[in-house]
Amino acid sequence: MTALANLQAPSLDDFEALAQDAYARLPEEFRALCEGVVIRVEDFPDDETMREMGCETPFDLLGLFRGIGLAQGGAMMQTGQFPNMVWLYRRPILDYWAEHEETLGHIVTHVLVHEIGHHFGLSDEDMEAIEAAAG
């Protein structure tokens, strides 16, 4: 129990490493389709995102995909277009983790797969299969 007394909450850098590890464990064919998707980690969504998503508190959103997904013709970037991006929000994810009996790595993988799944227009069942393959 004394080992727990010295633990600190994972930093933004720690979350970045968790996200990169989760991404590396995704099936190769899925990752190949993700070329150009940028993964960002922030503590919370910004005010504009909170308004757009109808969030009551900054803890309402665990992650977000922004861009033009493949399902909407986003396979080719247009001049001046920002890259497709996935945001993972550290503090809401930590809050969720504290209230559920899942590992932090599992939650990060789940949010990452769910948000990238929007990029492809995947069903919940497809995303669950990809998440299971990431183990």
**Residue 1: DSSP 8-state:** -
Can you state the angle between helices 90-99 and 104-120, rounded to 10 degrees?
120
Q: What pTM value is reported for the model?
A: 0.86
Q: How far is CA 34 from the centre of its chain?
A: 13
d(Cα 135, Cα 26) in Å, to the nearest integer? 8
d(Cα 3, Cα 91) in Å, to the nearest integer? 22
Matching residue, tokens 């009996």: 101
**pLDDT tens for each residue of the chain, 135 residues long:** 567 788 889 999 999 999 999 999 988 888 887 777 899 999 999 999 999 999 999 999 999 998 876 655 545 545 556 788 999 999 999 999 999 999 999 999 999 999 988 777 888 898 888 888 887
